[in-house]
Amino acid sequence: MPALPSRRSSLFLSLILSGALTACGGGSDSAPSAAAAVTSFTPSAALGEKIYNDVSLSASGRQSCATCHSRDHAHGPTNDLAVQLGGPNGDVPGFRASPSLRYMQQMPAFHFEADGTPVGGFDRDGRARTLAEQAER
């Protein structure tokens, strides 16, 4: 079984590939359909896809990455909650919002505001400066 860093890398690679394909609408006026989704992946990307959708990795056993990062909503949340709920009973608010792919192109470099609020960057703590760097981790 691969070590955790490899799983994370595979997951982020899967997200990046899915996001890139979603963002490439082909120049048409219509939105890309779910039917246009990729159906074959490299072994690493397939592992990432499996982890991305695996509810058994959550505290409740009912939530996966895809729960908060919906493909049908540009990998953003399906509701208008500021942060998504999780935990063993699905009632614990998370710490950060689930940004959609629409935000990806405008992601500022990670920094702290004057009041100490962390802003921008990729990964939970902003340690990756670019989406490509995030995929490498």
User: Going along 4-132, which residue ranges are E strands?
Assistant: 85-86, 92-93, 111-112, 118-119
Amino acid 46: pLDDT:
92
pLDDT band at 53 (very low <50, low <70, confident <90, very high): very high
Boundaries of domain holding 68: 60-121
Q: Indicate if 26 and 65 belong to the same structural domain.
A: no
Taking the whole predicted model, whether its pTM rises above 0.85 is answered as no
| pLDDT, greater one: 61 or 134 | 61
Percent of the chain whose predicted confidence (pLDDT) is above 90: 22
Residue 124 gets the label, from left (phi > 0), alpha (psi -120 to 50) or beta, of alpha
Domain annotation covers residue 130: no
State pLDDT tens for residues 73-122. 888 889 988 889 999 998 999 887 777 777 777 888 888 899 998 888 87
Domain annotation covers residue 97: yes
Domain annotation covers residue 42: yes
Domain annotation covers residue 136: no
Instruction: Domain count for the chain, please give it.
Output: 2
| pLDDT, greater one: 59 or 133 | 59
Q: Indicate if 11 and 41 belong to the same structural domain.
A: yes
- For the chain, give the mean pLDDT: 75
Parallel, antiparallel, or unpaired: how do β-strands 92-93 and 111-112 relate?
unpaired
Q: Indicate if 115 and 65 belong to the same structural domain.
A: yes
Domain annotation covers residue 131: no
Domain annotation covers residue 38: yes
